[in-house]
């Protein structure tokens, strides 16, 4: 039977789709979805029609392009730094490692997606002010620093909390109402914790290969036993943070998020059962599904 890499023509459309990792776009969509839901809810307190759909769609598109850009950067630099080896890699196959995309083509794609992200984000100045330039610049800067330096120092989880939680949720809200509330900050931290669960599963699976190449992720730093416990705690903490909405009179986010917690615990139990090897990729898929479940439930709870 032919391997996947043998079936994919180099630099073909299929190769680029796989390099973009469309399944990861859930992690980009959920923070914007939650931030937009909060803005929609609070817009009614100001005046009818305050919510700007164009701004929300631009935030979503910017998040998508930045996610694809991050995937390209991760694919390219992990390969040239030796973090990806097709003979030892446990996770899904990567474009540069498998030879689906040439290194020169990937460098051009990184430059192209970075420029597209700038063009998509530029109109947000109209809605959120000139400070959006600084926000966009930091997103692009840390998009590069994540793979090239910070993830190897165990700071990847902190960056996920910032750039998949705090920044996208609060800024999606800010471009609508030009303010930030306690509920928005708490929701952004909860979203960041849930999405970090995906990174923790990934790093738990790769803990041995990461340690071998000097990539000191959080799981490598604290050990596998503590790492899997941290994964469990991220889900619990995210649900506990929903109690802030109950404090302000809306119990629905807290109630609905307990359904997510059930899924999160089952993923934790699967990780404990499998423990090592490629079979943990099933837990990675579960974690991605759990992100979408959390985002959907919280959005419904906010709107209700």
pLDDT for res 83: 66
Cα–Cα nearest to 168, from 290, 24, 69, 59: 59
Percentage of the residues of the chain whose pLDDT score is greater than 90: 77
Residue 87 pLDDT level (bands cut at 50, 70, 90): low
Cα–Cα nearest to 232, from 277, 274, 201: 201
The answer, yes or no, to whether residue 5 has pLDDT greater than 60, is no
pLDDT for res 4: 47
Residues 67/28, Cβ–Cβ less than 8 Å: yes
Look at the pTM and tell me if it is higher than 0.95.
no
The answer, yes or no, to whether residue 176 has pLDDT greater than 80, is yes
The answer, yes or no, to whether residue 27 has pLDDT greater than 80, is yes
Which tens digits make up the pLDDT trace of 188-223?
999 999 999 999 999 999 999 888 888 889 999 999
pLDDT for res 213: 80
Which tens digits make up the pLDDT trace of 259-297?
999 999 999 999 999 999 999 999 999 999 999 999 999
As a whole number, mean pLDDT of residues 60-71 equals: 96
Structure tokens at 285: 């898929």
As a whole number, mean pLDDT of residues 126-143 equals: 93
Residues 67/27, Cβ–Cβ less than 8 Å: yes
Question: Among 14-23, 71-80, 149-158, whose mean pLDDT is lowest?
Answer: 149-158
pLDDT for res 23: 87
Domain containing 269 — which CATH number?
1.10.600
292 vs 295: CA distance, rounded Å: 5
The answer, yes or no, to whether residue 113 has pLDDT greater than 60, is yes
The answer, yes or no, to whether residue 2 has pLDDT greater than 50, is no
pLDDT for res 1: 32
* Number of compact structural domains in the chain: 1
Residue 65 pLDDT level (bands cut at 50, 70, 90): very high
Instruction: Give the range of the structural domain holding residue 208, as residue numbers without chain letter.
Output: 4-303
| Cβ-Cβ contacts under 8 Å for 135 (sequence gap 6 or more) | 128, 167, 171
> Which is higher by pLDDT, 79 or 133?
133
pLDDT for res 85: 66
Whole-angstrom CA distances from 265 to 73, 137, 200, 272 are: 32, 37, 14, 11
pLDDT for res 3: 45
Cα dihedral 196, 197, 200, 205, rounded to 10, equals -140
Residue 93 pLDDT level (bands cut at 50, 70, 90): confident
């Amino acid at each position: 039977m032919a391997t996947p890499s043998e079936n994919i023509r180099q630099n073909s459309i299929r190769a680029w789709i796989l390099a973009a990792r469309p399944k990861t776009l859930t992690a980009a969509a959920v923070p914007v979805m939650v931030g937009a839901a909060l803005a929609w809810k609070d817009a009614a307190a100001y005046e009818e029609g305050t919510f700007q759909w164009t701004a929300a769609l631009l935030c979503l598109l910017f998040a998508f392009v930045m996610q694809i850009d991050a995937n390209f950067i991760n694919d390219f630099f992990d390969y040239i730094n030796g973090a990806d080896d097709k003979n030892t890699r446990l996770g899904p196959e990567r474009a540069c490692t498998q030879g689906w995309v040439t290194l020169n083509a990937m460098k051009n794609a990184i430059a192209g997606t970075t420029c597209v992200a700038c063009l998509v984000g530029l109109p947000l100045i109209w809605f959120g002010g000139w400070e959006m330039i600084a926000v966009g610049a930091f997103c692009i800067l840390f998009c590069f620093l994540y793979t090239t330096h910070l993830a190897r120092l165990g700071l990847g989880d902190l960056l996920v909390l910032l750039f998949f939680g705090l920044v996208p949720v609060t800024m999606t809200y800010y471009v609508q109402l030009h303010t930030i509330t306690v509920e928005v900050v708490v929701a952004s931290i909860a979203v960041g914790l849930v999405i970090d669960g995906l990174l923790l599963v990934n790093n738990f699976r790769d803990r041995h290969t990461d340690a071998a190449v000097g990539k000191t992720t959080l799981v490598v730093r604290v050990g596998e036993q503590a790492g899997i416990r941290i994964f469990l705690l991220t889900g619990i903490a995210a649900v506990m943070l929903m109690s802030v909405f109950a404090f302000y009179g809306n119990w629905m986010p807290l109630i609905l998020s307990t359904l997510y917690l059930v899924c999160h615990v089952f993923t934790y139990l699967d990780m404990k059962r499998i423990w090592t090897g490629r079979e943990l990729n099933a837990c990675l898929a579960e974690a991605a599904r759990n992100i979408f479940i959390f985002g959907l439930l919280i959005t419904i709870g906010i709107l209700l």
